[in-house]
Amino acid sequence: MTATAVTTTRAAAAPPLPAHPDPEASAVLESGLLQELSYAFDGPFHFLLPDRFDTNLAAFRAALAEAGVTGRVYYAKKANKAAVWVERCAATGAGVDVASAGELREALAHGVRGEDITVTGPAKHEQLLRVAVLQGALIAVDSPGELDRVLALTGGTTRPARVLLRRLPPDQPHSRFGLDDEETAAALRRCAAAGPAVSMEGFSFHLSGYALRPRADLAGRLVDECRAARALGLRADRISIGGGFAVDYAAADDWHGFLAEQRPEHYHAGKAFTAGDFYPYHSPLAGAGVLRAVLATTPEGHSASLARLLRDAGVTLMLEPGRALLDRAGATVFRVLGVKERDGYAVLTVDGSSLSLSEQWFNSEYLPDPVLLTEAGPARGPAVVAACVGGATCLESDMVTWRKVPLPARPREGDLLVYPNTAGYQMDSNESPFHDLPLPPKVVVDRPAGRPRWRLDRHA
């Protein structure tokens, strides 16, 4: 690189947004394993770190224990399709939250007991409801009609249908999910009248966004609703506060710097994104820390913390984290197939597509910077080149990364780009065999800190 070229490319590069340092993923990057796997699969792939999932799960459980709250963690399966997470749930006694017959089948097939499964999602398919009832799974009922359909299924079976009533969040009145106050009152009467055919075990909600206060407020309110439901003779001894525990991908300074400085020139073809559509890649409170804070909050209209309210009422707290259980539990590896020069920046083509980095679905972009991995190891040092990253498809809009990422070396054909921390929603939500390209395989890496061992995930 000439000095002039360096200056030009620096001017064009987007502000850096490196992911937090992660010793376990770094050990995998340093080990030489990824170059071997890229050679073996001859295409893009994802690697998964189940140890990290276990650590994240343990952190949620520790937060419950510290607060003296009886609680249960259910992994929201939609965040990643791999079998290994469900296997970890089965092995560690965690539950799984599913929303389709396929997800339910996967959870059961990999060893999770029916009674440890929650079934959420709107207007659930008949077959999903039937298997859920037969397996003793807990069904979050989303509408009056759905409660009718659940009750209709109970006739021939010996087990009662286990249900939670999903509540329409009062401060998200336009949500398309849940029962409003009137529907809830009617549903409670129906459950009471159904007698032993139904076990009404409590209430649930899932809020979009990451604010603490609405979660604590609604949870506090649902503890009261459990007490009221018990007066009708219903069990009502648990509430689910859903998911939405933020993940902290990047340092505060980098994130705020990125937001302040990014502008259309930092993106290929002048592409513009609305900053508000980006995931909040930095969160001072994240994962189990969010749970701790919610439990310590005094809900509106109460005079004790949520933890205290739950304890006093004998109500079990269920939570359904997806993204937060997968924090740092995997990454995505593409190989550079081609390098072009354009107006002072590089246009890379990699062997995968943006369908493996699902943020484009939300008209947004996955922002933690990819790491350039050469034959010699991860490239380090100050940025010398800016590069956007295109997929191996014939579509202008299939950009894995629109922004011109600052990279510490000029990428060459055969180098790898490793996108960090992609297990939560960024791996397989949108993958398709577009162009007849195979879906990227998932590789489970055990013992990342020692000599890493790998195996294929058993997702059917």
Question: Which residues contact ligand PLP (rule: CB under 6 A)?
Answer: 76, 78-79, 97, 120, 206, 242-245, 320-324
| 170 neighbors 218 (Cβ within 8 angstroms) | yes
The token pair that represents 337 in the structure block:
């197939």
Q: How far apart are CA 294 and CA 69, in angstroms?
A: 12
Chain-centroid distance of CA 209 in Å reads 13
Q: How far apart are CA 201 and CA 222, in angstroms?
A: 12
| 386 neighbors 6 (Cβ within 8 angstroms) | no
**Closest distance of CB 421 from ligand PLP, Å:** 14
Q: Could you give the C-alpha distances from 283 to 255, 292, 370, 372, in angstroms and in order?
A: 10, 15, 20, 25
What is Dmax (Cα atoms) for the chain?
Answer: 80
**Closest distance of CB 443 from ligand PLP, Å:** 22
Q: How far apart are CA 383 and CA 124, in angstroms?
A: 50
Q: How far apart are CA 216 and CA 301, in angstroms?
A: 11
**Closest distance of CB 208 from ligand PLP, Å:** 8
**Closest distance of CB 379 from ligand PLP, Å:** 32
**Closest distance of CB 240 from ligand PLP, Å:** 8
Q: Which is nearer to ligand PLP, 101 or 392 (CB)?
A: 101
Q: Which is nearer to ligand PLP, 218 or 371 (CB)?
A: 218
Q: Which is nearer to ligand PLP, 282 or 323 (CB)?
A: 323
**Closest distance of CB 155 from ligand PLP, Å:** 28
- Which of 290, 324, 430, 332 has the alpha carbon at shortest distance from 97? 324
**Closest distance of CB 243 from ligand PLP, Å:** 2
Q: How far apart are CA 24 and CA 423, in angstroms?
A: 14
**Closest distance of CB 242 from ligand PLP, Å:** 4
Q: Which is nearer to ligand PLP, 258 or 425 (CB)?
A: 425
Q: How far apart are CA 181 and CA 187, in angstroms?
A: 10
**Closest distance of CB 128 from ligand PLP, Å:** 14
Q: Which is nearer to ligand PLP, 293 or 409 (CB)?
A: 293
**Closest distance of CB 205 from ligand PLP, Å:** 8
Q: Which is nearer to ligand PLP, 97 or 351 (CB)?
A: 97
**Closest distance of CB 308 from ligand PLP, Å:** 25
Give the angle subtended at the CA of 29 by the CAs of 23 and 43, to the nearest 5°: 140
**Closest distance of CB 321 from ligand PLP, Å:** 4
Q: Which is nearer to ligand PLP, 114 or 287 (CB)?
A: 287
Phi, psi of 227, rounded to the nearest 5 degrees:
-60, -45
Q: Which is nearer to ligand PLP, 160 or 321 (CB)?
A: 321
Q: Which is nearer to ligand PLP, 229 or 291 (CB)?
A: 291
Q: Residues with Cβ < 8 Å from 2, sequence gap 6 or more?
A: none
Q: Which is nearer to ligand PLP, 13 or 139 (CB)?
A: 139
Q: Which is nearer to ligand PLP, 217 or 398 (CB)?
A: 217
Q: Which is nearer to ligand PLP, 106 or 351 (CB)?
A: 106
